[in-house]
Amino acid sequence: MAVTTHRIEATYVPEVAKVVAMLRGITLAGDTGLVPIIVESGYLNLVRKVMDGDPTDADIDLVVNDILFYICNSVISSVSYVPRKANKVAHSLANMALAIVEDKFWLEEVPPSMELIVLEDVSD
């Protein structure tokens, strides 16, 4: 398991930010050797675009194409939709990233501020 939070200085519409976050997560997993990569997202339209293999939104085409590149190279074993309420940890990490001053990275450990959320998620 690897977790990272990055402050992005650019201003994106939420859909573009979610696509960029997915690509960064895939890149992190690949760079740290955590393969095969299982991608779960609460953004159903993005999951559909990736699974269809044919991005049609000019704002996110290039990033989706990068995700498709990873899929074609068999680094990603699955991409699936998970509703936000079933993935509280990911949603909490995204909110935490809004308030960070510097990038943070955890490998094989849970960020201290996420421990309680992970325990609640496991018990549900």
- The pLDDT, as a whole number, for residue 55 is 65
Cα–Cα nearest to 94, from 7, 16, 29, 35:
7
How much is the pTM? 0.75
Strand partners, 68: none
Q: Return d(Cα 79, Cα 34) in angstroms, integer.
A: 15
- The pLDDT, as a whole number, for residue 81 is 92
The sign of the CA dihedral 121, 84, 53, 7 is: negative
- Per-residue pLDDT of the chain (124 residues), as tens digits, is 677 777 767 677 778 888 888 888 888 888 888 888 888 888 898 888 888 876 666 778 888 888 888 888 867 888 899 887 777 877 787 777 777 777 777 777 777 777 888 888 776 6
- The pLDDT, as a whole number, for residue 89 is 79
Q: What is the CATH number of domain 2-123?
A: 3.30.420
Output the six-digit token pair for 9: 């200085």
Per-residue pLDDT reduced to its tens digit, 71-85: 888 678 888 998 877
- What string of H, E and C letters represents the secondary structure of the chain? CEEEECCCCCCCCHHHHHHHHHHHHHHHHHHCCCCCEEEEECCHHHHHHHHHCCCCCCCCHHHHHHHHHHHHCCCEEEEEECCHHHCHHHHHHHHHHCCCCCCEEEECCCCHHHHHHHHHHHHC
Per-residue pLDDT reduced to its tens digit, 113-122: 778 888 887 7
